[in-house]
């Protein structure tokens, strides 16, 4: 099975107990040969069990655009959430909505579209009147099916990155390019072109990361077998993809207006945990009487950087690490499991140090550098789209000017210093970036000095085995 799966970069080294060994038993020449027996003490690491697409990575391939006619009452509202919010009638429409049974939702794609539709309805219902007129309870005809769909998917009952970005797209021309001009949202929220731009640019960042995600098994299996050349090539592919992610993120400036993002869009991405506008959380009627708390959407809900951190061995400080770990509960379970399983693999950084290859060390360090560059650029984006508009909003308030003519003045004050996921945003982002720097490896390390031209020192087999026992845990 391992051979049929298409793994072509595996090194078969008999002195590595954790690599595949192949044994062929041949009977007497006059008799037919026995079938080849393949023993594998550890199968090659593969993305197959984690529902990661070869073409789209963590993006849901070809999301459905419609549900069964039985669920049309959901879609009729979900596809008109923005208009209903602006007319202040979304809540009344939802209260009249029938309580539908979720049993007719069978496929994964049906469940994802249902979760997306119920999510945008929920965000609109809660935030229709802004931060000063929220609700304490989600009505049962929305809360009960939302909860059941969420339980089946392993997602929380709130709008997540997996909904708004990964499962909220279609091509205008099915045969056209996967680019800004040919993509559109399935459902949207207030914010016009900027909300489309925000979700679509984020989707393109995910797409740019696909070559990196596909290279992770090459790195892990190369480390398992001591194949420094394969690991080097895979790390070079990852660093190139990281650069592509940064380039995609730059499109945010062309497609999203900072004032619109800050003053209109952000509140509809906000949750009811660590949010002073809803300090008690939200009651899901028909599920339980006590309020529940869930964080709003956050870039930390993307599985991408979690995978890179675990692969490179980035260790975050306690508070930031706890937030990032909690955000994994907002990912599809299979993606969360991938991150966890990467963390359990032998240490890549330890392998690089032990191998003492200049090319390998450079490839590893380039990944660290590109990841830091991506995080630094994200900080710049946050500054332009949150920090600067927040300062403008405070200035307007201090002048006693709350004119609706200034879009930023509509923004909720509760989000001025935090992300929609509830983190203290700038300090969090800078801490995470700085911890990334900590895994850097100097190119003049002792191993390189011991081994001219980057060749591996001799008699290192036992050291290699010890290094392989190290693990990239968060």
Binding residue positions for heme b: 378
* Distance from C-alpha of 451 to C-alpha of 233, rounded to nearest angstrom: 21
> Measuring CA to CA, how many Å separate 451 from each of 235, 349, 448?
21, 18, 5
Q: Which two tokens stand for residue 388?
A: 């600067």
Residue ranges of the alpha helices (H) in 130-257? Answer: 140-153, 161-164, 192-208, 210-225, 228-249, 252-255
* Distance from C-alpha of 302 to C-alpha of 307, rounded to nearest angstrom: 10
Q: Which two tokens stand for residue 162?
A: 């997996």
* Distance from C-alpha of 408 to C-alpha of 420, rounded to nearest angstrom: 16
- Tally DSSP H helices, then E strands, for the chain: 20, 6
Q: In this structure, are residues 94 and 77 in contact, taking their beta carbons and an 8 Å threshold?
A: yes
Which residues carry a binding-site annotation? Answer: 378
Q: What size, in residues, is the chain?
A: 474
Q: In this structure, are residues 51 and 335 in contact, taking their beta carbons and an 8 Å threshold?
A: yes
Helix 348-355 / helix 228-249 crossing angle, nearest 10 deg? 130
């Amino acid at each position: 099975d391992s051979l049929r799966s298409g793994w072509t970069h595996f090194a078969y080294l008999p002195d590595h107990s954790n690599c595949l060994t192949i044994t062929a038993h041949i009977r007497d020449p006059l008799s037919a040969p026995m079938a080849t027996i393949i023993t594998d003490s550890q199968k090659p690491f593969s993305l197959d069990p984690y529902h990661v697409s070869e073409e789209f990575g963590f993006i849901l391939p070809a999301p459905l655009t419609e549900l069964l006619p039985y669920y049309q009452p959901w879609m009729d509202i979900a596809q008109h959430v923005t208009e209903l919010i602006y007319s202040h009638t979304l809540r009344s429409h939802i209260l009249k909505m029938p309580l539908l049974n979720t049993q007719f939702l069978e496929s994964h794609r049906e469940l994802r579209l249902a979760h997306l539709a119920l999510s945008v309805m929920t965000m609109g219902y809660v935030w229709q009147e802004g931060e000063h007129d929220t609700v304490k309870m989600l009505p049962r005809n929305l809360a009960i099916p939302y909860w059941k769909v969420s339980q089946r998917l392993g997602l929380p009952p709130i709008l997540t990155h997996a909904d708004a970005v990964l499962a909220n797209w279609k091509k205008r021309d099915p045969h056209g390019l996967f680019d800004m001009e040919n993509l559109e949202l399935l459902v949207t929220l207030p914010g016009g072109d900027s909300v489309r731009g925000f979700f679509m640019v984020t989707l393109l960042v995910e797409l740019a990361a696909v070559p990196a995600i596909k290279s992770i098994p090459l790195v892990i299996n190369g480390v398992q077998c001591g194949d420094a050349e394969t690991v080097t090539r895979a790390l070079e592919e990852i660093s190139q993809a990281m650069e592509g992610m940064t380039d995609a993120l730059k499109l945010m400036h062309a497609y999203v207006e900072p004032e619109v993002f800050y003053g209109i869009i952000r509140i509809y991405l906000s949750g009811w945990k660590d949010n002073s506008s809803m300090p008690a959380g939200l009651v899901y009627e028909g599920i339980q009487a006590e309020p529940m708390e869930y964080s709003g959407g956050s870039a930390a809900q993307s599985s991408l950087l979690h995978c890179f951190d675990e692969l490179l061995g980035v260790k975050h400080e306690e508070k930031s690490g706890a937030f990032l770990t909690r955000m994994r509960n907002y990912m599809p379970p299979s993606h969360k499991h991938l991150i966890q399983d990467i963390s359990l693999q032998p240490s890549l950084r330890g392998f690089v140090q032990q191998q003492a290859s200049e090319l390998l060390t450079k490839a590893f360090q380039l990944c660290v550098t590109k990841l830091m560059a991506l995080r630094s650029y994200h900080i710049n984006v946050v500054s332009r789209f949150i920090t600067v508009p927040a300062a403008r909003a405070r200035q307007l308030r201090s002048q006693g000017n709350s004119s609706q003519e200034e879009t930023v003045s509509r923004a909720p004050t509760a989000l001025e210093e935090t992300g929609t996921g509830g983190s203290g945003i700038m300090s969090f982002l800078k801490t995470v970036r700085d911890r990334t720097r900590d895994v850097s490896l100097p190119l003049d390390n002792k191993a390189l000095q011991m081994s001219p031209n980057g060749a591996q020192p001799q008699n290192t087999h036992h050291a290699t085995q010890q290094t392989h026992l190290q693990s990239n845990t968060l």
